[in-house]
Amino acid sequence: MPNNLVFNYAANELKTQIFGLNGNNTVPVATDPNGFLEVIVEQGTITALVGTVTAIIDSGTITAFVGNTVTAVIDSGTITALVGNTVTAIVNSGTITALVGNTVTAIINSGTVTALVGNTVTAVIDSGTITALVGNTVTAIVNSGTITALVGNTVTAIINSGTVTALVGNTVTAVIDSGTITALVGNTVTAVIDSGTITALVGNTVTAIVNSGTVTALVGNTVTAIVNSGTVTALVGNTVTAVIDSGTITALVGNTVTAIVNSGTITALVGNTVTAIINSGTVTALVGNTVTAVIDSGTVTAMIGATITANTLGIFTESSTTITGLTNATVSVLTMDTSQQKMYTYYVANNSASTATAFLQIAPVNTETFYLNDSTTVQTLLPNGKIVIVPEKFLHFTRLILQAGADPVSAQAYFDSQT
């Protein structure tokens, strides 16, 4: 009762009754059993400085300043939580903005959550967006939605047809169906992806199980992956550890690749280190790569200056070169370290109308003055003819010598070996 009728000596028993206007009538404002206000707002605003707000809002706004507890159902509305607020909301076509140290739990249909600094966000979003700026913790189930984490955020997500973008120093743990993770700098990404993509730019750590997906690592990333019908592409200075079924690893420059590949391919371009167990697969090393491989029913192809060490499982290696317009000269090609080969053969095809001669030389060290002719007979390479040369003597290095007279000679030469 109002205190204007009865004088009350006890201050703690003073009571105030609040009235509101309902059409033309004045009625008491309702409260819940705990004495908190019960509010339904149409096209209105609630501003809470310190306290508890429970509301249903159509096209309205709630602004919570410091240490408020807000529970709301909002259609086409907005919740703004400034500092240290606790917000629990169902938002249809609405927005939640949490500034500093807020805790937000939300179900959002066609809505947006923006967390600025040090907020904790737990959300289920249909066709919505979560943007976490600095040091936020985000746990989300997103259907056809997007999570963007800027700096030092922790994101745990299940995303269906969605996207996670982590800029700097974020930790992302995700299960994605038909989705994408993009990690820019120094992020840690752990993911299971079905028909999805992970792109790591600089210094990221990526651990992934990818089904029908792609992992692309640009510079200095560490990638650990199990890929089914997928692709791993490492550009510069990446470390890739992978188990791939029906997949591909492409390492461009200075990458370290350790892989078990079933029915797959590894291509190393320049200065890569590749260690692989390949079943029904292929390793192609272009320039200055180091390849250590165990291959069942597979192939290692080394183009220029490659070092290959392979276990004896019937491994086949092949190198080739082209000689064009050789005239009145002698050239040595396909100088190979044959110390670990059990069987090796040179093949030469004359692609010109001129006659040439071919033979092998061997040496204990790869120095010009140490080479001497193998005891095999010097062979004549007729115009457009083909020959095979097998060495009779064994030393550490073997090379092919091709000689031409006054008429120019063009030829294709191959070195094939088995361990």
CB contact at 8 A, 418 and 316: yes
Q: Residue 312: its pLDDT value, please?
A: 44
- The residue assigned the tokens 């959300």 is 123
Q: Residue 172: its pLDDT value, please?
A: 87
Name the pTM for this structure.
Answer: 0.61
Can you tell me the distance from the alpha carbon of 31 to that of 34, in angstroms, rounded to the nearest whole number? 8
Can you tell me the distance from the alpha carbon of 276 to that of 253, in angstroms, rounded to the nearest whole number? 17
Nearest to 137 by CA among 126, 127, 128, 147: 147
- The length of the chain is 419
- CA 18 remoteness from chain centre: 60
pLDDT in tens, the chain (419 residues): 444 555 555 555 555 566 656 556 776 766 666 655 555 555 556 665 555 777 777 777 888 788 878 888 878 778 888 888 888 888 788 788 888 888 888 888 887 888 888 888 888 888 878 888 888 888 888 788 788 888 888 888 888 887 888 888 888 888 888 778 888 888 888 888 887 788 888 888 888 887 877 888 888 888 888 878 778 888 888 888 888 787 788 888 888 888 887 777 888 788 888 888 877 777 877 777 788 877 776 777 766 666 766 654 457 789 999 999 999 999 999 999 998 888 899 999 999 999 999 999 999 999 999 999 997 778 999 999 999 999 999 999 999 999 999 999 999 999 999 87
DSSP 304-318: ES-EEEE-SSS-EEE
DSSP 123-183: EEEES-EEEEEES-EEEEEEES-EEEEEES-EEEEEEES-EEEEEES-EEEEEEES-EEEE
Q: Residue 1: its pLDDT value, please?
A: 44
Query: How large is the C-alpha radius of gyration of the chain?
Result: 36
Can you tell me the distance from the alpha carbon of 365 to that of 36, in angstroms, rounded to the nearest whole number? 92
CB contact at 8 A, 268 and 248: no
Residue type, 280: S
Residue 164 tokens read as 């996670």
